[in-house]
Amino acid sequence: MKIHGKVIISGLVIAAISFGGYSALANKDTKKEYQRYLQQQVEQQVSEAYDDAVHSFNFDTGNYKLYLADKTKEIEGMSKSDYAGLRISMHDAIFTTNKMKKGDFVPAIYVKDSLDEAVVMVKAKDGTNSMFTFKKEGENWELVDEQEQDGKEIPEEKAKTFEEFSQENSESE
């Protein structure tokens, strides 16, 4: 009887650990899903912001490839030194002159297929759109044009908390 009791208790301990492990895995999956949800929320807002900016300037993106300043480490086909030079020119024209303020959207960089022109769009929190055109002159990038247009204000979407997201997902299962 003592052996049989120990086997039952051992079985319960193993079951408890197994279910606890399953719960932890489910929690990890929920956390991953929540991260994807947050990423989609941000991407949707950024897309809406820059669609408005492109539209306000009637900018034809056909010969350009889009990069976001906060995610771009390099530009396809562009040397690291050329991209570093563009970043320095952007910094001088946009950041040191306070053309971009806290709460504005991350700059969108439209690089022409020929890699000798970049158009940087900045969407302000208040809806104002700014467009900066840079051209490569020898080894340097020069600011050749700067424009501003009124655009629509993009309201800050209130994302669900992790608890709200978890609760909603558990109810839908």
Residue 23 included in any domain: no
Residue 122 included in any domain: yes
Residue 76 included in any domain: yes
pTM of the model: 0.72
DSSP output for 29-95: HHHHHHHHHHHHHHHHHHHHHHHHHHHHTT---TTEEEEETTT-S--TTS-HHHHHHHHHHHIIIII
DSSP output for 110-173: EEETTSSEEEEEEE-TTS-EEEEEEEEETTEEEEEEEEEE-----PPP-PPPHHHHHHHHHHH-
**Cα dihedral 73, 77, 82, 84 in deg (nearest 10):** 0
Residue 27 included in any domain: no
Residue 83 included in any domain: yes
Residue 126 included in any domain: yes
Q: State pLDDT tens for residues 19-31.
A: 334 344 457 777 8
pLDDT of res. 88 = 94
Domain that holds residue 139: 40-149
d(CA 109, CA 121): 7
Statement: residue 60 has pLDDT above 90: yes
Q: State pLDDT tens for residues 117-151.
A: 999 999 998 999 999 999 999 889 999 999 999 98
In the chain, the number of structural domains is 1
Which DSSP symbol is given to 109? E
Q: State pLDDT tens for residues 67-100.
A: 988 878 888 999 999 999 999 999 999 988 888 8
Statement: residue 15 has pLDDT above 90: no
Residue 170 included in any domain: no
Residue 61 included in any domain: yes
